[in-house]
């Protein structure tokens, strides 16, 4: 079965946009103290990492165009398998300083023919 790389890009873009909207006006303290909010943030980050992991398997050249693609996948693994050792400041740094770059890259890639 052929896997469409654009589906993975679209899924990552959707999760990125959702996270940026959901975290606007929020703080790391909100993330640390609100279990529902924390769960939603982590789930969407896991989805991004899993979609990128799948993209890497099916279209490694496209995946390699995403900044820090390997690091994103490792972060997904940490969220899933090392949930008890994930540092809140690291998660919040991703939200505050990395996610908009990913969103912008995905938007640009999806605009390509």
Query: Looking at the 3D structure of the chain, how many domains does it have?
Result: 1
Residue numbers of the domain that contains 102: 5-111
pLDDT band at 49 (very low <50, low <70, confident <90, very high): very high
- Comparing CA positions, the residue from 96, 86, 73 lying closest to residue 25 is 96
Residue 99 has pLDDT above 90, yes or no: yes
pLDDT at 3: 82
Pairwise CA distance, residues 80 & 33, whole Å: 20
pTM of the full structure: 0.93
Question: At 23, is the secondary structure helix, strand, or coil?
Answer: helix
Q: Which two tokens stand for residue 36?
A: 């529902």
pLDDT band at 53 (very low <50, low <70, confident <90, very high): very high
Pairwise CA distance, residues 18 & 5, whole Å: 20
**How far lies 99's CA from each of 33, 45, 106, 113, in Å?**
21, 10, 11, 24
- What is the rounded average pLDDT of the residues 73-84? 92
pLDDT band at 108 (very low <50, low <70, confident <90, very high): very high
């Amino acid at each position: 079965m052929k896997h469409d790389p654009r589906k993975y890009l679209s899924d990552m873009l959707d999760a990125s946009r959702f996270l940026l909207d959901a975290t606007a006006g929020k703080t790391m303290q909100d993330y640390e103290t609100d279990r529902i909010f924390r769960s939603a943030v982590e789930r969407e980050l896991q989805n991004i990492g899993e979609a990128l992991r799948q993209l890497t398997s099916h279209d490694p050249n496209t995946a390699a165009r995403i900044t820090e693609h390997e690091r994103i996948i490792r972060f997904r693994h940490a969220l899933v398998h090392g949930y008890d050792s994930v540092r809140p400041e690291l998660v919040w740094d991703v939200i505050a300083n990395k996610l908009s770059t990913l969103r912008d890259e995905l938007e640009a890639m999806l605009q390509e023919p």
